[in-house]
Structure 1
């Protein structure tokens, strides 16, 4: 945050902000100069529940579009509490460290599903899809309450046979059993038999807010991998027979008859 203008500028100087707005805060009942609204002061929120029990200051957050001639500040959110005697000194530090914090969160990459599973056929389309959800976390950074929202945006599939698909925006989706074997956006054809470990990696985009302030974009994405899932690829053999097991109960493929290779 600029100590003179009060504008909040997340990230380092060499990063281009992806949020179209600038932000600043003002004391909840401040009228400008040394004047305060006495009626507002009687209704002013109490800020006594900060990290480690410290007191905070009640503020209103304002936003203004970047690069728009004649733009003016307007109320964005609040009133809310800001915890620190000099919070403007901490907000740039939080912005500089938020990417590392984001990547260290226990974000669930989602569930990987294969159809059919756990066995599929060589040369056939095996449908894979993911089930990933938005997640929210509350952490403390430099003594401030930080709320993080992580949203899945891209998916990478490592099919275990040397083939990698992604990152791309489709999580895929389930097929009814009668349609198994159809080609889908995220399906894969195995050329060899064997057991393969399939890994889903989900890319999340995040936002963060400090002490219930305005949500700000986290500059980079975080990549998180789901536990690998084993898929066994079998080969299929097709044989034609002149009669069925009612006519010839000793025929190949009938109950109790040993299979031939």
Structure 2
């Protein structure tokens, strides 16, 4: 009788701890004939639409992993880790003031026979009643949101600057760094990481170089005029507007979930930089400026 009483007491404690989770009927948490199921089991990325979808048999996505989430403290079937439940993450006051469910994200290599689910990240909260429907909606809009982020293309430096000479190589280089943003989509917290991967140089005279992976680099002053991968020689004098466009590759994660790739690349341009191209003149003078500082061609005299 003591064993039966102990089992009844444990089940009572389990339902008391689980009560906040099942209070919301619209979140799909419930017992099934194979145990307890929460939301969708796995997702892959549809290569045509970019959306996260349940995979068809034999389907292969662009991400080498597949993901699923489980309730925090879930041991499988209908079993939970009772000590874990006592310190379970509280999911209150979500983006729209609603309560959520605490989950752990799992991942495994896709298409590898015998691969097992392993912890990926968490615990974290899901606040949507049907996250298996929410994630494809975010995936469908994430590229547009990415392009609208205030990503800095980086700064541009010219050597020499702000003046250079016609026919001489002017070295241009960029400085661009990885950037991170936190945005809200459909009431969910989305973390975006933007990494620069390619650069396009528009030198303002009709010449465009790129996209290509090199951002260039500085030269010591005694090497100015050397040809570099990102340098340019102007064939005419005048003022030219140099524009750098940086291509960024992005990833995003929803509610601290796994990092997923953003389809395509975001293109961001730096403010134009003016470079003035001058011409040089060479003349021979007979005066020795040491003997006659006021001689023609000496510093400080009229040319």
Where in structure 2 are there 5+ consecutive unaligned residues?
Answer: 1-37, 51-59
Q: Equivalent residue for 1:97?
A: 141
Distance (whole Å) between structure 2 residues aligned to residue 223 and residue 23 of structure 1: 29
Q: Find the residue that maps to 2:85 and give its secondary structure.
A: helix
Judge conservation of contact 2:196–2:247 (CA < 8 Å) in 1: yes
The question of 1:24 aligning with 2:59 is answered no
Shift of 1:19: 2.0
- Structure showing the higher helix proportion among its residues: 2
Q: Which residue is 1:6 aligned to? A: 41
Q: CA deviation at 1:12?
A: 6.1
Please give the residue correspondences for 1:224-243 in structure 2 after superposition, counting only pairs within 5 Å. 224-243=268-287
- Indicate conservation of the 8 Å contact 1:11/1:219, yes or no: no
Q: Which has the higher contact order (CA 8 A, sep 6+)?
A: 1
Query: Equivalent residue of 1:94, what SS?
Result: helix
Runs of 4+, deviation exceeding 3 Å: 10-18, 240-243
Q: Deviations over 1:167-223 (max 9, x none)?
A: 000011111222111111100000110100000000000000000001111111000
| Corresponding residue for residue 38 of structure 1 | 82
Q: Which runs of 5+ in 1 are unaligned?
A: none
Q: CA deviation at 1:242?
A: 4.1
**1:114-153 to 2 correspondences below 5 Å:** 114-153=158-197
Alpha-carbon offset, residue 17 of structure 1: 4.0
Give the drift of 1:13. Answer: 4.5
Q: Matches of 1:13 and 1:28 in 2, distance apart?
A: 33
CA RMSD of aligned residues (A): 1.8
Residue aligned with 1:90, SS: helix
Deviation track 1:89-141 (CA, whole Å, cap 9, x = no partner) reads 10011011110110110111110111111100001110101111111100111
Q: TM-score, normalised by structure 2?
A: 0.80
* 1:52-91 superposed matches below 5 A: 52-91=96-135
